[in-house]
Amino acid sequence: MIPNRRTLLAALAAVGTLASLTACSGGSDDGSGSTDASGGTYAFWDPYPQFDASSPWGKLVSECGTKAGVTVKRTGYDTTDLGNKALLAAQQGNAPDVMLVDNPVVSTLVEAGILNKTSDLGLDTKSIQKNIIGAGTIDDASYGVPIGANTLALYYNKKVLTAAGVDPASIKDWTSLTAALNKVKAAGKKGITFSAINTEEGSFQFLPWFWGAGGDLTKLNSDKGVAALSLWKGWVDDGLAPKDVLQNTQTTSWQEFATGDYAFGENGTWQLGNADKAGFDYGVINIPAQNGGSAPVPTGGEFVTVPVQKDSARYDVSKKIVECLTNDTNLLATDTTLTYIAPTAAVQTKQVAANPKLEPWVSAVAAARGRTSGGLGSKYPTISQPMWTAVQSALSGGKSPKDALDTAQSSAEKG
């Protein structure tokens, strides 16, 4: 009987130890939220898993921590993952101290009530361009500082255009663009590639055309929205754009353009580095609006935010870290690494001085709009998803553009 009791005790002890171990580890996670103003560890999340601790970005982050007198523990997550991770962490009460998030996610996190206003933290955002910070502004209060901005334009392959006898300067509106695509096709090359995948990337790429027709996100099925979708559908149906745009991410779309067969590729600022490696001469034009001029493009890029903590004493250090990351010198370095356009005019001037190729991108960013701007806020995701579904059903031939957008509008209204 005694050995029996011993096994019993041992078993109980084992269970107890396990329980206390897990409790302990839970406690140490909470440690990031505990008071330790002098020194201590500050949690920092960003969507750049491609940069490790030895990269310039990784070094900059830890340096900013050291300057603020703390150690920064940096974790890089996949962009698509970060929003949900942040919500879960906030629910568990262990949100990071500073977090970099993709701009359309900001309004969702604000809706969840887990971000601090920049004015409450005492961060200065006056020098930042209005349209860039717009994506992080809800009810006239901003909830983050943009680290940089990117947007979309049309890359073109000079050789293909010359062979087809197209002058890129002649492309002023949709009609001239479609005419150019037809010429390229007649010359035996491929027209244009973009990404119409059923994720946020698809909506991001469709917006310049949607807005370029004068479309309004609160009324997807207006004539203007239908015109934009019909333009895309026409290209795919006439073989001016490949069928696989439906599966293309912006990365695979870039790979198609980089084969050298395509005349145009709709892609972002962040591909500039790859463009130089592509091995052919390229140029960049702004995406034309339906009746001429540049179409408004959506802003991309991340915001530095400070999530709500139980212990508000931590905000002072968090603020120092944010200010360090977003001062002019560091913005220039970071935006050069990421090939983003800086959010302030002063740094933009420096960027263009260092690399004149950025000129068209600076003007594109100046004309860009935030997806969640204009009072849409966290309504945007409930519009964006039906929109990308509509693009998919129209391009695949399942529905006419009008029917697809009617369905999208009714499901967007339901929320």
Partner 1 sequence: MTIARVDRPRRAGTVSKASGTGGTGSLPLRRRQRRRSRLTALAFVTPLLAYLAAFYVYPLYRNLDLSLRDYTVRSFVSGDAPFSGWDNFQKVLDDPTFGPAMRHTMIFTFVSIAFQYAIGLALAVFFNRHFRLAPTLRALFLIPWLLPLIVSASSWSWMLNSESGVVNYFLHFFGVDPVGWLTSPDWALTSVIIANIWIGIPFNLVILYSGLQNIPGELYEAASLDGASAWQQFRRITFPLLRPVSAITLLLGLVYTLKVFDLIWIMTKGGPGDASSTLATWSYQLGFGSLLPKFGPGAAVGNILILIALVFGLLYIRVQSGQRRQET
The site for partner 1 (CB under 8 A) is made up of 1, 4-5, 7-8, 11-12, 15, 83-84, 87, 90-91, 104-105, 108-109, 111-114, 197-200, 242-244, 246-247, 256, 378, 380-382, 384-385, 389, 392-393, 395-399, 404, 407, 411
Residue among 178 and 392 whose Cβ is closer to partner 1: 392
CB of 395 to partner 1, least distance (A): 7
3-state secondary structure of 191: strand
- Return the amino acid letter for 243: K
Nearer to partner 1, 277 or 414 (CB): 414
| Shortest Å, Cβ 311 to partner 1 | 17
State which H helix or E strand residue 388 sits in.
Answer: helix 380-395
Q: Which two tokens stand for residue 326?
A: 């977003």
- Nearer residue to partner 1 within complex by CB, 36 or 244: 244
* Closest to partner 1 by CB, 8 or 346: 8
Q: How far is the CB of 85 from partner 1 (least distance, A)?
A: 11
> What is the smallest separation between the CB atom of 359 and partner 1, expressed in angstroms?
32
Specify the DSSP element, H or E, that contains 208: helix 200-212
- Residue 163's SS3 state is helix
Nearer residue to partner 1 within complex by CB, 242 or 288:
242
DSSP of 276-340, one letter per residue?
HHSSS-EEEEPPBPTTSSBPP-B-B-EEEE-B--S-GGGHHHHHHHHHHHTSHHHHHHHHHHHT-
**Phi-psi label, residue 118: left if phi above 0, alpha if psi -120 to 50, beta otherwise:** alpha
Q: How far is the CB of 50 from partner 1 (least distance, A)?
A: 19
Quick one: 146 or 242, whose CB is closer to partner 1? 242
Per the structure block, which two tokens stand in for 152? 């979309």
Tokens for 113?
Answer: 């009530």
Smallest distance from the beta carbon of 117 to partner 1, in angstroms?
Answer: 16
